[in-house]
Amino acid sequence: MTLRECLSYGRETLASSNIEYPSLESELLLRQTLIISRVQLYLDFDLELSHEQGETFWGLVKRRLEGEPTAYISGHREFYGLDFYINPSVLIPRPETELLVEKTINLAKGCILPVIADIGTGCGAIAISLALKLPRAKIYATDISASALEVARANCLKHGLTSRVSLLQGNMLEPLPRPVDFIVSNLPYVKEEEISDDNFEPVLALNGGGDGLEPIRRLCHQVGGKLRPGGYLLLEIGQGQQAAVTSLLSSLFPLAEIEVTPDLSGIDRMVSAVLSPISEA
C-alpha cells in the first residue's frame, strides 16, 4: 500500500467514526509512523509501505478510534507556530489559548524589561511562546505538577530557553520570588461534573470544581503583592464564565480596568485586568 492509499483509507476510517479533521489526523498518524516531515510525505506519495509500517499505522489509527488524542499518540502538538513535546501528564494546548499569548505580547511590547509569570504552565507552551516573541522578557512558569514541569523542561531545552524560563513547582503564585508585570494563566475551568470518565487528559489540568471557577478564584485571591502597580492579569475562561469572573475581579480590585475578549468563534475567552496601586493595597 502506498502513502497516498494509506492517507486515503485512514481519512475514510476516521471520518466514518466522526473524528474531526480526518485528513489532518490521518496525515499526522502516517507521519508519526514513518518519522518524516510533511514535505517528505507529499514528495513520496507513491512510496510503498512495508508490512511492518502498515501494521504500525493501523495500530495508531485504532488508538485514535478508541478516543486517544492524536497529540498523545504522536507526542507532539503545534501551538503558536511552534512544535511542543506532549504526553498525558499535561493538557493538550488549544488554538484559542493563542489569544492569551497574542494579547500579552502586544501589551508587553511597551515594557523595556517585562517580567511575566505563566501560572499552571503545563507543557510550557504559553511561557515558551512569550519568551521567543519577547527576547527581553524574564519568564517564570509555575505548576503544581512535577510531571508537568518535566514536560515543560523538555520543551524549554528543545527551544533553547532553559536560561530565560524559570520553572517553579508550587501552588499558583506562591513560588514566585518577586512581583511581576504580567500574570498570565490558563487554569482549569471545566465543571467537575462535565469531565467524562474516559477522558485521556489529566483531570488536574481540567477540573475547575463545582462551577468551573475554583482555581481562577484561588488565583485572583493570591494576586495582591505578586503583581506590580499597573500590572496586568490575563485569564483564559470558559464559555459563559465572563460575568462571574469580571464580578470577582471588580469586587477584589474596585479600580481595575477590566476587558473581555472573544475568540475567533465569538465566545468570550479572555479576561484582562489592569490593577492600580490602590486596588492592590
pLDDT tens for 244-277 read: 999 999 999 998 999 999 999 999 999 999 986 4
**E runs forming strands in 63-207:** 76-79, 82-85, 115-119, 138-143, 165-169, 180-185
- The reply to whether the predicted model has a pTM over 0.85 is yes
CATH number at residue 106: 3.40.50.150
How confident is the model at residue 278, as a pLDDT? 37
When mean pLDDT is compared across 61-65, 98-102, 244-248, 253-257, the lowest value belongs to 253-257
Shared domain check, 54 and 10: yes
**Coil, strand or helix at 113:** coil
DSSP element (H, E) containing 29: helix 22-34
How confident is the model at residue 163, as a pLDDT? 94
CATH number at residue 9: 1.10.8.10
Shared domain check, 122 and 32: no
pLDDT digits (tens, 9 = 90+) for 118-165: 999 999 999 999 999 999 999 999 999 999 999 999 999 999 999 999
Kindly give the pairing relationship between strand 138-143 and strand 165-169. Answer: parallel
Shared domain check, 125 and 52: no
Domain housing 47: 3-74
Domain total in the chain: 2
Shared domain check, 99 and 11: no
